[in-house]
Structure 1
Amino acid sequence: MTSRSRTAPAHIAMFSIAAHGHVNPSLEVIRELVARGHRVTYAIPPAFAEKVAETGAEPKLWNSTLPGPDADPSAWGSELLDHVEIFLADAMQALPQLIEAYEGDEADVPDLVLQDITAYPARVLAHRWGVPAISLSPNLVAWEGYQEEVAEPLWAEPRSTGRGKAYYARFQAWLEEYGVDLHPDSFAGRPDRSLVLIPRVLQPNADRVDETVYSFVGACQGDRAAQGDWERPAGAEKVVLVSLGSTFTNQPGFYRECVRAFGDLPGWHLVLQIGQRVDPAALGDVPANVEVRSWVPQFAILKQADLFVTHAGAGGSQEGLATATPMIAVPQAVDQFGNADILQALGVARHVPSADATAETLRSTALALVDDPEVARRLKEIQAEMAKEGGTRRAADLIEAELPVEQG
């Protein structure tokens, strides 16, 4: 007979880094697993311990060497090797901490490991413990042909340098030290099983993604009441939210252009999120119809907004789609450029490069978008498609399906 069925309470361990864009997408999945009776531990640096604890999971704290969640983007370096070296160094110093946390005086080895795509130690630990590992991807995943079309051209020059060769040698030696027989590229980019926490429409070449490995569950939204509410001002005919997320916010010049674009537009109300590093005084005189905040309950506002000016991060892009809000995409870094192009190709957004994001361009683009019935139709169509992907509950179902069944 079996000592527990596949869906009986289990210990599930989640691993991530202290970054909003990597923690936030997983939180509702974790909350759902806890609600189903599972014990969930969540290995995370202290900056996110409180947010994790609110889901009912137990934080397992470790100290990270990565730039903090509010660090200036320049702290991550300017080249590909800068970025990946930081992640590898952090993983190498984190692993002994995590081994102690789970294998110390009171051994606490889980039944299954969940890992954000940046949490390299998690896959090593799953191998060490002989338990299943599932990657939770908050952004695009590799498709058949990705290696030849994207990875090889991207890495051709860095891989040929002494520094690049040293990076790969260091990564390979670390894997071998812990008995992992994989090339670093496969280890970091080719999970055995993955849940993709974005809508399928945001995935490039989705028709070439191996869905025996990758399951698109879409946006895992939940009750955001704890983040606060927002009330649309009386008399506001149109509401526009401007947000560049949590990292790329030090853009006072861009915010001034947004004030110029919407500040004297009759009937419009502008909600401007400027982050922690910009002094509101740097914006100059702000009209009464402009609401300046360091942080906003984004999803609550988008449910009532008529336009979203976004950096096109994965989280913001899918929230715009989930609320059927037309978007102006002004990408700042990494995958945001690709997301902006996809949103434009879907017919729900316009991609405006940062250098072109003048008040005049933002205003003319906004007026064209919000009055276009085809944009509205396409947004409603995508919103309906996303609702069918299953979200949080389907993600939890798929995780439970991977739990090992103990024989007894």
Structure 2
Amino acid sequence: MRIVFSSLSGHGHLYPLIPLARAARAHGHDVLFATGDPFRGTIEELGLRFAAVGVPIGAGFAAASGGSSTRPEPGSAEWLRLVSLVFGAELPRRYLADLRPVLAEFKPDLVVHEAGNHGAGLAAREAGIPGVCHGFGRQSPANYAGFDPALRSVAADAGIELPEGDLRTLGNPFLDIFPASLQPAEFLESVARFPLRPVPFAPSGALPPEAVAERSRPLVYLTLGTGFGDAAVLRSAVDGLAALEVDVLVAAGPSVQAGALGELPPNVSVHEWVPQAELLEHVDLVVHHGGSGTTLAALGAGLPQLFLPQGADQFGNAETITTAGGGEQLLGAEVTAESVRTAAAALLGDSPHRRVARRVAAEIAEMPSPERVAERLPDFAR
């Protein structure tokens, strides 16, 4: 069977699909991965076929905002309107156009599109190819008010019929990598959901020596991910964590240079990138932005989390895990060295938060593996 996997051009959208794509290939399926050209090397190193489609998410925001570099306040009405235009119109329109020739040439039997890439779902529907929606994290309780009208307008322009009701999955079966206990009940009731165990993926690499060294005190992992780095927030977190009897390992990401953090305390080390999937088994606490990938990886490892959300779906993830008792969150001006120190201290050791995290980890471990779900993919193509 021929299968196209397609994601938006972003780490948090691409990486969750890779375990199933690899499992599908291992089952003998002919797999092509269609995403942004910056990820060509990642995909081809895995031995998968690659097709460059779409534009960076930032380009979608630039187009929707008329080229303005000024972004509305996250959570504001103007911000929600902009997000609806980006993910409901600008990106779907481009991915639909770019995937048409890919599907025509490859002639897949199935298209697996991630939940942020509605353009790939539209392209499959237009070509008469069965589609499956692959989640990358928690679904918002409801779509942004302007999302459905924007997407329906793109579909109408292309002559594509869409199902009535909620368009979060385009009416396709939904492969859900988020534990059901943390998904909104109304979403679970509205889709044909198939659980899929989240398997953290990152390009291979060596762990920093300090991550695997013998130690007599906890190791705290601090990151703001790949897209929302902020040197001031990282510095406040570093100062707060360094005041504890812990070692701190920082992944600064591509948007913050290590030098921007200034002189570091002796119990802190900073790296541009670390193999997060391998690192977490050595960690006692994760302090991070709340991106879906890091949130799920920490949940799967049974680790408490301190959230410092900066944008996108991070606020929803932080609120969900905090409400469930698996962590704490600090928002905006609340992020100070003292508040980080206090919150982190409460999360270390055998805290109630750790017990909640371990319970969710057990739930995740019971979800079907990518290998088991790959066996079922032909059923979705019928």
Same fold (TM over 0.5): yes
Deviation at 1:176, TM superposition (A): 2.7
- CA deviation profile, 1:5-38 (whole Å, cap 9, x unmatched): xxxxx00011211111100000011010001110
The SS at the match of 1:40 is strand
3-state DSSP of counterpart to 2:189? coil
Q: Which residue of 1 aligns with 2:303?
A: 325
State the shift of 1:300 in Å: 1.9
Distance 1:99 1:287, change over 3 A: same
Q: CA deviation at 1:182?
A: 2.5
Residue-pair matches, total: 367
**Contact 2:54/2:91 (CA < 8 Å) preserved in 1?**
no
Going from structure 1 to structure 2, the CA distance change for 1:265 and 1:118 (only over 3 Å counts) comes to: closer
Q: State how far apart, in whole Å, the 2-side matches of 1:76 and 1:15 are.
A: 29
What secondary structure does 1:303 align onto? helix
SS in 2 for 1:308: strand
TM-score, normalization: structure 1? 0.81
Query: Judging changes above 3 Å, is the alpha-carbon distance between structure 1 residues 305 and 120 closer, same or farther for their aligned structure 2 residues?
Result: same
Whether the aligned pair in 1 keeps the contact of 2:8 and 2:56 (CA below 8 Å) is no
Q: 1:388 to 1:264 in 2, by over 3 A?
A: same
In 2, Cα distance between the equivalents of 1:397 and 1:33? Answer: 8
- What is the DSSP-based 3-state SS (H/G/I as helix, E as strand, rest coil) of the residue aligned with 2:213? coil
Tell me, yes or no, if structure 1 residue 253 matches structure 2 residue 232. yes
Q: 5+ unaligned residues in a row in structure 2: which ranges?
A: 63-67, 73-78
Matched, 1:99 2:100: yes
- The residue type equivalent to 2:346 in the other structure is A
Give the match's secondary structure for 2:123: helix
Counterpart of 2:96 in structure 1: which amino acid?
Answer: L
Higher RCO by CA contacts (8 Å cutoff, separation 6 or greater): 1
What is the DSSP-based 3-state SS (H/G/I as helix, E as strand, rest coil) of the residue aligned with 1:309?
A: strand
**Does structure 1 conserve the Cα–Cα contact (< 8 Å) formed by 2:163 and 2:171?**
no
- Inter-partner Cα distance in structure 1 for 2:41 and 2:241: 37
Residues 105-147 of structure 1, C-alpha deviations (whole Å, 9 max, x = no match): xx321101111122223222222332210001112236xxx5x
CA distance in 1, matches of 2:107, 2:200: 29
- How many percent identity over aligned positions? 24
Structure-2 change in CA distance of 1:121 and 1:225 (3 Å): closer
For the pair shown, the structure with the greater C-alpha radius of gyration is 1
Q: Deviations over 1:54-106 (max 9, x none)?
A: 3332111225264279x9xx969432232333342333234333222332xxx
Whether contact under 8 Å (1:67, 1:76) holds in the other structure is: no
Q: Deviations over 1:268-301 (max 9, x none)?
A: 1111122223233332221221111121212222
Q: Which moved more, 1:368-377 or 1:378-387?
A: 368-377
Matched residue, 1:20: 11
Please say if 1:31 is aligned against 2:32: no
Residues 26 and 220 of structure 1 are in contact (CA less than 8 Å); yes or no, is this contact kept in structure 2?
A: no
Alpha-carbon distance, 1:179 to partner: 3.1
Structure 1 SS opposite 2:212: coil
Q: Measure how far apart 1:381 and its partner are.
A: 2.2
Q: Secondary structure at the match of 2:40?
A: helix
Q: Distance in 1 between matches of 2:366 and 2:190?
A: 16
Are the counterparts in 2 of residues 243 and 273 from structure 1 also a CA contact under 8 Å? yes
User: Match of 2:91?
Assistant: 90
Q: Which segments of structure 1 move beyond 6 Å, counting only runs of 4 or more?
A: none
Aligned letter for 1:95?
Answer: L
Q: What is the Cα-based RMSD across aligned positions, in Å?
A: 2.8
Change over 3 Å in CA distance of 1:180–1:361 after alignment to 2: same
Structure 1, unmatched stretches of 5+, are 1-9
